Chains A and B, each alone.
Chain A
Amino acid sequence: MTSILEVNDLRVYFHTPRGMVKAVDNVTFDVHAGERFGLIGESGSGKSTIALAIMRLIRSPGRIESGEIRLEGENLLALSDEEMRQRRLAGVAMVTQGAMNSLNPVMRIRQQFADGLNSHGETVTVDEAREQLVDLLARVGLKPEAADVYPHQLSGGMKQRVCIALAMSLRPSLIIADEPTSALDVVVQRQVVQTLRQVQEELDAAVILIGHDMGLMAQFASRVGVMYAGKLVEEGPVRAIFRQPEHPYTRILMESLPSLDEKETLQVVKGAPPSAADRPAGCVFHPRCPFVMDRCIQEEPLFREVAPEQWAACHLHDEPAAAHSLSREVAE
C-alpha cells in the first residue's frame, strides 16, 4: 500500500509568555491512499494541531519546529506560502471544526464554492460552477436549492454537509475532517459520518477523521491513532486497538466506554491530563498509569511495533511479565 501522507517526527510548539507549550511532540504516522484513518484523543491532546499543521495553518504564537509532512511524496513544509495555498483544497482539503460558523454568513453557498475554484486558476462560467456544485451537493444528500441560499438558511447538519461538499470541489487526495460532528446531535452525527464515508469511497480519497467519540471512530475508521498530551501513544488497525490495546491509556479509554451487556461500574481514567506547558519527564502518561514502573519516570518509551501493524510507546512491552498482565487483564 502506498502512503499518501507521511508525517515524520513532527513538532509543533507554542511560544507563549508563560513558556513553551509542546502541543505536538515527535509525532510520526502514515496514511495510505484511500484509507480512513482516525485520530483519537482528549481535548488538548494535540489532534487538531496536527490537522492545522498538515494544512500549514498554525497561527502565531504556534510554530512547526521540525519534522516532515509529505503529501504524495512532496514535503509541504518546504513549499512557499503561495505554493502551499495552491495545495490546499486541490491536494489536501479540510472540513473544519465548528459546523455552525464555518461558512461566510454574508455570501451564498455558490459564491463561496466559486471563490475556491477561482483561487485555484479554474476558469469556469457561473453556470458551469453552479452545475458542478449541484453535483457535489447531491453526493452529500442535499438538494440543488442549497447552492443558492445563505448559510443561516441551512441547519447545522446541512451546513456540515455543505462543508464536506466544498472540501470535495477539486477532488483532493486527502480530506481532513476535524471533529466534523462536534456541534451536532447524535442522529445527525451518524448521518454526517456516513456521508463522509460514502464520499470517501466515491472519491477514493484518504480521510483523516479527528474526534473523541469512540463509537463514531469504530464505525468509520479502518486504522486509528491515539493521542495523549501531544504524543501519539498508540496506532494500529481499529479492530486490534479495540480488542487488544497495547498502551495502558488506550486500554483505560476502552474500558471507560459504556456497554449494554455489562452493568458494572464504569472505569474512568483517574486524574487529569497534564498541562501541555508542564509535562512530566519520562513517559507522559506515568502519573496516571496503573502499571507505572521506576523506569517510566525517567525514560521516555520509544514508539515501536509491538504486534503486527500495531505500534505503541510503552515500557511494559520490554517486561514480558508485565506485558502479559496487561493483555491478560484485557482479555478477562
Chain B
Amino acid sequence: MNPYIRYIGERLILLLATIFISMTVVFFVPRMVPGEPMNAIFANMAAVGGSMNAQEMIVEYRVRFGLDRPVWVQYLSFWRELAQGNLGISISNFPSEVSGMLLSALPWTLGLLTVTTLISWIAGSVIGAVIGWRGRKAGVARLMVPVALVLYTTPYYILALILVFVFAFHWPIFPLSGAYSVGMRPGLNTAFIVDVVRHAVLPALSILLVSLGWWFLSMRSLIISLKGEDYILNAEAMGIKERRILWGYAFRNALLPQTTGLAISLGHIVGGALITEVIFAYPGIGYRIYNAIKSLDYPLIQGGVLLIIISVALANFLIDAAYPLIDPRIRFEGSGGS
C-alpha cells in the first residue's frame, strides 16, 4: 500500500477514536450534574404566562426526551440517532432542533476564530522571525519581547474585559456586545458588513493579541536556536544573501515546530473563544454551549461539544496531512522522490 495513504488512514482512525471517547465523556458528565433540565422549559412557559401542574408535566416531558429510561439505553440510542445524523431537540429552546441552532451559530464562531487564528499565527511568526534573527540589531523592536510576554500571560477573558471597559464603555468606540446591531437585517450589503466588522473588532482583538504574543515568542526562540545550526553557517559561508538565509533556511526550518504548536493550541483557542463569546454575548457556538450548560440542556451540550471536537480533530488531521509537504524528511518513499 502507498505509505502516504497508510499514514492518512492511521490519522483517520485516530480521529474517529478521539471523537468516540470524548463524546462518551460528554454524554455522561452532564447527566451526573444535579439539577432538573425540564425546569428551563417551565421557566420559559411561566415567562409567557402559563401555569400548570408542574410535577406531572415534568414527568411527561422526561418521557418525551427519553430521560426516564436507564442511562445506558439513552447512551445507545444517542449513538443510534447520531449515526442517522440526528442531534435531537433542544430542551431549553423547545422545540428547536439542535442541528439548526448550531448551524445558525457556526458561521459567527468560524469567522471569528479562523480570521484571528490565521492573522495571529502568520503575523506572530513573521515578526518573531525578524526580531529573533536580528537579535541586538533589532533595536527598539526588541520591546516586543516584554510586551508579548505580558500579552501571552494575560488570560483571554481578562483582556476581553479590559477591552470592553476601555473601548466600549469608557470610550464607546465599539459596541458592547452582540454580533450586529439590534434591528439590522442580515444580508450581503455594505452597511451590514461594516456593522458586523465593528462588532467583531473587540472579541477578535482579545483572542488575537493573546495568541499573537505566544506565536511571536515561540517563533523568536526557534529562530534564535536555529541560528547556531551548521547549515546556517554554511549558507553564510556561501555568501547567500541574508534575507534569503532568514526566510529560506531559518524560517522554513522553524515552520515545522511552529505548525505543531498550532495543532496543539487549537483546543486552547476554541476554549478561549468560548469565554470571549460569553463576555461579548457573541452568538457563536461557545455562547450556545455556555447557555446549554447553564440549563443542563443535554442534547444541545452534546451537539455543541461534538461540533468543537470534530473541528479541532479535523484541523489536527489537516495539519498532520500537511507535515509531509512542509518537511521532506516526513515524506515517504513513493511520494517524495527517490
Q: What residues of chain A have their CB less than 8 Å away from a CB belonging to chain B?
A: 55, 57, 60, 85-90, 93-94, 96-98, 100-107, 112, 115-116, 118-120, 145, 148-150, 152-153, 163, 166-167, 169
Contact = CB atoms under 8 A, between A and B. Distances in A.
Nearest to A101: B230
Contact of A88 (B229, B237, B252): B237
Given A97-B230, A102-B231, A150 B239 contact: no
Contacts of B240: 115-116, 119
A87 B239 contact: yes
B234 A102 contact: yes
B64 interface: no
A259 to B, nearest CB: 35
A310 B326 CA distance: 55
Given A105-B328, A150-B337, A152-B328, A93 B238 contact: yes
Contacts of A104: 231, 235, 248-249, 252-253
B268 interface: no
Nearest to A163: B234
Which 6 A-B residue pairings sit nearest by Cβ, starting from the closest?
A: A88-B239, A101-B230, A94-B237, A98-B230, A89-B239, A150-B328
A310 to B, nearest CB: 32
Contact of A106 (B136, B235, B328, B337): B328
Given A98-B230, A103-B231, A106-B253, A150 B329 contact: yes
Contacts of A55: 236-237
A101 B228 CA distance: 11
A57 B242 CA distance: 13
A112 B248 CA distance: 10
B338 A105 contact: no
Given A102-B233, A116-B240, 4 more contacts: A106-B327, A115-B235, A119-B241, A149-B337
Nearest to B229: A101
A64 to B, nearest CB: 16
B80 interface: no
B62 interface: no
A303 B252 CA distance: 48
Contacts of A90: 239
A166 B237 CA distance: 11
B244 interface: yes
Contacts of A88: 236-239
B140 to A, nearest CB: 20
B230 A96 contact: yes
A97 B233 CA distance: 10
Given A98-B230, A103-B231, A104-B231, A93 B237 contact: yes
Contact of B329 (A102, A105, A118, A166): A105
Interface in B302-338: 326-329, 336-338
A93 B328 CA distance: 28
A202 to B, nearest CB: 20
5 contacts: A55-B237, A102-B231, A106-B253, A148-B337, A152-B328
